[in-house]
Each structure stands twice: as C-alpha cells, then as structure tokens.
Chains A and B, each alone.
Chain A
Amino acid sequence: MPKMYSQSRPDHVSKDRVPKNETINFILNYSKALSVISYKNVKFEALLN
C-alpha cells in the first residue's frame, strides 16, 4: 500500500459550524447602536451605547 504523505487536519471542517450566540448578539447590538448622520455630503458615524 502506498504511503500517505499528506495528512488531513484533525479538526475537519464541520457543516454544522456556526458562530457563537455572543458574536451574533454583538453584531445585532452593534447595528442597533450605530447611526450614520449625513451633513453636507459628509457622513458621520455615531456609536451610541
């Protein structure tokens, strides 16, 4: 039998991999906190807590 010189990564990519809920919540909260204000063709970002 031929030798295998390549080795697959032990932690194979699973189809079920999803980000943590904390990450999702952070993204949604960031979105709620971020507002873009336009003033004379200039856009300002404001991050409100």
Chain B
Amino acid sequence: MNKTPNSDALLVSAYMNGDESALGELVTRHKQRIYSFIYSKVYNRDVAEDVFQDTFIKVIRTLKRGKYNEEGKFLPWVMRIAHNLVIDHFRKNNRMPKFENNDDFNIFSVLHDGSLNVENRMIKSQVENDVKNLIHELPDDQKEVLVMRIYKDMSFKEISEQTGVSINTALGRMRYALINLRKVIDKHNIVLTN
C-alpha cells in the first residue's frame, strides 16, 4: 500500500510509537463518518456520543496494547467496532425496553394508575370522616344497625340476632338511618363526593 505522509497507516503506526497527536488527526479525519454511522443506527445524540466514545476507547486500548495488525483498513476496523457497540447497545436496551411517546400514540392513554393521588386521598378521608360524624348524629338504634351493616359487613339476619329485633325491624331501622342521613346532607348542603 502506498503510504502517503498522512495516510491512516502511518498515523496509526506513529500513534503506536507514542505520538499522541497522530490520534488527534485520526479522530478529526474520521469523526464525521463514524459519528454519522452510529447516529444513523441509534437516532439519539446522547447515545451516539456514548457509542462514539466507547468505540475510540476500544481503539485506543487495542492500539496501545499493540494488538492491531495494520492492513490498511483502519476506518473499516473502527466502523466494525462501532457497529458491534451499537448492537450491544440495542441488546442491552432490549433487556430493559424503553418506550418513547410520540404525537400519534401516548402510552398513558392505555396505561393508567388506578390509585388516588394525594389530593384525592385527602378528600376521600375527609368525606369518610364527615360521614362518620353524620352517623353519630343518628338515633342510637338506627346508628347501631347502620354500623353493623356497612362497617362490620354483617347480614340483616346476624344484625337481628345480635340486637334482638326482627329482620324487618332491622331493615326498617336501616332504611330510616339512610333517609335521615340524606335529610341532614340535603339540609346542610354537604358535598360528599370525591
């Protein structure tokens, strides 16, 4: 191969002999082609910068260890390293896929968090407190049935057994408890929604 003063082969050999400026010239000469190649695969500036940097770190280590065989193919060799690192990048990302939203589709239109946010949690606890306070205002017999049914999740049969009244009486007390609660809520315009 014809070694012009500035050929890659000469620069590589100079670099392997300790001339650091030769690497600067090689990088300057090929940076655009190598970087464009990487960018054309990864489509992300930051990733392209990382892969470009890793490519040259590998080049530097190989050259400094004297493991590079000069065959006049410096650029194809560097491109091959870059190509392998791009593949490594995609392999790594496939293990932990990343989803990017675009204008056509937003992942949050199908995925949503069902739990309440902090504000709604606070509202919910306030509403529950208000309801408890309202229940305390009910006559004792109605309050007893309502608490057993709603909070203790007992059946009307169990309630009748525990309170010593008939099922119909328990049902009636429950009905009046709810009517009275509604009356109080309407009268004071209490908002019990989240």
In the complex, what residue of chain A is closest to B52 when comparing beta carbons? A19
A27: B residues at CB distance < 8 A: 23, 27, 53, 56-57, 60
The answer on a CB contact under 8 Å between B43 and A11 is: yes
The answer on a CB contact under 8 Å between A35 and B64 is: yes
Contact of B23 among A15, A28, A36 (CB under 8 A): A28
In the complex, what residue of chain B is closest to A32 when comparing beta carbons? B20
- Given known pairs A9-B43, A28-B20, A28-B27, the reply for A20 and B49 (CB within 8 Å) is yes
Task: Count B-side interface residues using an 8 Å CB cutoff.
Answer: 23
Contact of A19 among B31, B43, B61, B64 (CB under 8 A): B31
Interface stretch of the complex, out of B34-42, B106-114, B166-174 = B34-42
**B32 at interface by CB-CB < 8 Å:** yes
Number of A-B contacts (CB under 8 A): 61
- Contacting B at CB under 8 A, from A5-49, are 9, 11, 13-20, 23-24, 26-28, 30-32, 34-36, 43, 45
At the interface, is chain B mostly helix, strand, loop or mixed?
helix
Q: In whole angstroms, what is the CA distance A30 to B35 when docked?
A: 18
B39: A residues at CB distance < 8 A: 13, 17
**B139 at interface by CB-CB < 8 Å:** no
The answer on a CB contact under 8 Å between A15 and B20 is: no
In the complex, what residue of chain A is closest to B24 when comparing beta carbons? A28
Q: In whole angstroms, what is the CA distance A27 to B24 when docked?
A: 9
The answer on a CB contact under 8 Å between B64 and A36 is: yes
